[in-house]
Structure 1
Amino acid sequence: MAYDMSDTSQVKRTTEAGTMDPNANLFALGLSYATGVGADLDYVEAHKWFNIAAMRGDDEAKLRRQELTAMMTQSQISAAQRAAREWLQRTAN
């Protein structure tokens, strides 16, 4: 199932308990870069943020990342994965 990357309604997601989804900011960054709304259109950055959110259990981010992967070159995917690893290493310290 393809997702409409122009649909930014997912940015302010909440959990079932009504609290802010802790991965929503990561997802929102990915969505901004994927759509060019609020940030320059950049699939590598979008993939990076969706990847980080997905690694933290965000199922919607997994789906969006998968859709982006189909639109990207292998070189872009590798760059996004490298950027995600670097970000995770920097923030782990």
Structure 2
Amino acid sequence: MADLTLVVSNDQPANARQHSSRLLLKLGLMAEQGRPRDLINAHKWMSLAALKGSGEARMHRLRLAKEMAPADLAEAHRRLREWLDRH
């Protein structure tokens, strides 16, 4: 799956932050449901949406984590940290 670059700022009004969390959630769902499934990036996008306040993303992320091998989950966390460091 291609890596997408998003511009997300915590300085946005609350409704813009909510929109951002929905977009991140949709990216996670697309990665999860794609062919082939990309659970690592799905988890990363869900984590970002959860950080923006999405309860739905938190639920999806927990479900995904149960399906993932420990090494894949660790890679998802590494990619999340890398994304946060870059943005």
> What is the TM-score of this pair, normalised by structure 1?
0.70
- SS of residue in 2 equivalent to 1:21: helix
Higher helix share: 2
Q: Would you identify which runs of 4 or more consecutive aligned residues in structure 1 move more than 6 Å? A: none
Alignment of 1:1-93 (within 5 A): 21-36=19-34, 40-91=36-87
Q: Which residue of 1 aligns with 2:8?
A: none
Paired AA for residue 70 in structure 1:
K
Give, in angstroms, the shift of residue 57 of structure 1: 1.0
> What is the TM-score of this pair, normalised by structure 2?
0.75
Please give the root-mean-square deviation of Cα atoms over the aligned residues, in Å.
1.7
Residue segments in structure 2 that go unaligned for 5+ positions in a row: 1-14
Q: Which residue of 2 aligns with 1:3?
A: none
State the alpha-carbon separation in 2 of the partners of residues 27 and 40 from structure 1: 18
Bigger RCO of structures 1 and 2 (CA < 8 A, at least 6 apart): 2
Paired AA for residue 38 in structure 2:
D
